[in-house]
Structure 1
């Protein structure tokens, strides 16, 4: 209903000009009508809430069933909606008549600078018979914040091997990341360079091939074939990191509507980020599932699995607006004391919601 008020008043104000004086000015009468419409809707909704509460009390007291209550609620809701429609239609007719009076030159209008408020939300500024929506001033911020979410494929790069011969399922091993970043424009009068920094939680999952699972053997962590047929075998490492990137944002500069001011936006064009991250491995957990005598069994094994406590790596992304192709690589080995280093690598999509 407030939309009806808004568009009706816009049409009404467009006919404003210099006219003959009357007891009440144009804006005073328009304001009265708008306020009356708001009073109508508020009172009818309040009455509806009271009636519904009374019906709910009858249910609690066992006087009526829930089915009967739903029937009564629907009936009174329809009655109140009809009341609003009928009463507001009468006020809209007054608005239409006010428009006609304005066209016929029967309504006085203030030519000095003033403000007219119709209801609670709509405010217009009038100056020397010119009517405009009051513009919202743009406040430029060099630092903005984004919620980051990323997901994709995860695997290990093993020294002397390649991904094609990986011990882990390529399509079955995933990573997820979510966090908060801040984006600060480095140059005052140019939009290209930005410092992007924040805090993220990373989930790196590895699913071994060939019915294997991870087993600690002293300070070594090895893959071994399970004694049962596994339906699920997954090692998850959860890391808390601080990513830092130098971001190149090719979003062009903007001009205010009157052309008097230049300002900058972000995440509206091609973006390239280069940087890295550092933090801690806060949890490692292995999940296995299998069937035993027809029953489903799920095991969760928590521990350090000899994983590196401190994690650090390189990361980069390239994309358009909020969506990017994202690559990250752990420079620290996953298992700190294994004879052969294995480093985590992830490739996927990254979303920076501005």
Structure 2
């Protein structure tokens, strides 16, 4: 009964904390992260059921192997499109949350502004619980955003793209494995991410494909919006130095992650899944026109680069640089560079 009362008191405290933080930047970001995770999980479950049904048909000789493979491929493509469509809507919500944060409409939850409640638990209260610190490998949902641009002639100065309106988004899942059994410093962090790199050209210009090259050209109409977007599936890998202290309880070592300063050094590699330009302008009769044009624009299909981050607990400053030039055959190499904030949610 005593433990039950403490548990109920804890729930009340957590509920009060949630009410306090529901409009914070961190809380709204986590909500979007949860929605994205739910979308991916739901579509994976649907695809799993569809594939199992095909395997049953195959085992009963109702369809041949070629037909089974074609059906599996079709279902997989349909599932990928469904995920992309739903995530695209959530991405717009993320963009608005980031904009609200920049405009000062959203505040972060700080220790000074939150109420502090201390609860003393009996020593045996958690005995039957599994401590996450015992796990050698943990998993995280990663979300990052920030400024995006191109390095031309080894510099970003005097760029052809707007510095604050060109941005990137990245979200994905990672696994974090402690390398040394009895030391918490070194970790190998790896996973899969979806990266969105956006560029907004200056001086009312847009990209135009001219044979094997892609050039910035001036528009004949005033463009309220001119955005060039490239989307990639990437496999990031980092060697992470986690300075979280180990805990010793009853002569047993417990290792926790993301509880102190962290530094990550590594890179990423993957492939492009789509490129498109987005235009907004007024036509000759006063109508507002939104136009999206998909194409490859001579963008390299394969991409790889270096990345690093340094931060405290779940929040880090994040830097990425593509070693692969953006365009295949342009006379001057231009490499994408991104600087922003990264969240690793356990």
On whether the aligned pair clears a TM of 0.5, the verdict is yes
CA gap 1:230/1:138 in 2 versus in 1, 3 angstroms:
same
Structure 1 residue 298: deviation in Å?
1.3
Structure 1 residue 299: deviation in Å?
1.1
Q: In structure 1, what is the Cα distance between the partners aligned to 2:7 and 2:149?
A: 62
TM-score (norm 2): 0.64
Unaligned runs of 5+ in 1: 11-129
**Is 1:298 matched with 2:312?**
no
- Secondary structure of the structure 1 residue equivalent to 2:161: coil
CA RMSD of aligned residues (A): 2.3
Unaligned runs of 5+ in 2: 9-121
Q: How does 1:196-275 map onto structure 2 within 5 Å?
A: 196-256=189-249, 259-275=250-266
Residue in structure 2 matching 1:193, options 169, 173, 186: 186
Q: Deviations over 1:252-290 (max 9, x none)?
A: 11112xx22111000000000000000001100000111
Q: Deviations over 1:4-60 (max 9, x none)?
A: 9933999xxxxxxxxxxxxxxxxxxxxxxxxxxxxxxxxxxxxxxxxxxxxxxxxxx
Match of 1:182 in 2: 175
Structure 1 residue 201: deviation in Å?
0.3
Structure 1 residue 300: deviation in Å?
0.7
Q: In structure 2, what is the Cα distance between the partners aligned to 1:345 and 1:250?
A: 28
TM-score (norm 1): 0.62
Q: Deviations over 1:159-205 (max 9, x none)?
A: 26x32300000011000000000000000000000000000000000
Match of 1:163 in 2: 156
Which protein has the larger Cα radius of gyration, Structure 1 or Structure 2? 1
**Misfit runs of 4+, over 6 Å:** none
- The aligned length equals 230
Match of 1:331 in 2: 323
- Secondary structure of the structure 2 residue equivalent to 1:231: strand
Check the 8 A contact 2:3/2:125 in 1, yes or no.
Answer: no
Q: In structure 2, what is the Cα distance between the partners aligned to 1:242 and 1:138?
A: 30
Structure 1 residue 137: deviation in Å?
4.8
Structure 1 residue 136: deviation in Å?
2.6
- Secondary structure of the structure 2 residue equivalent to 1:165: coil
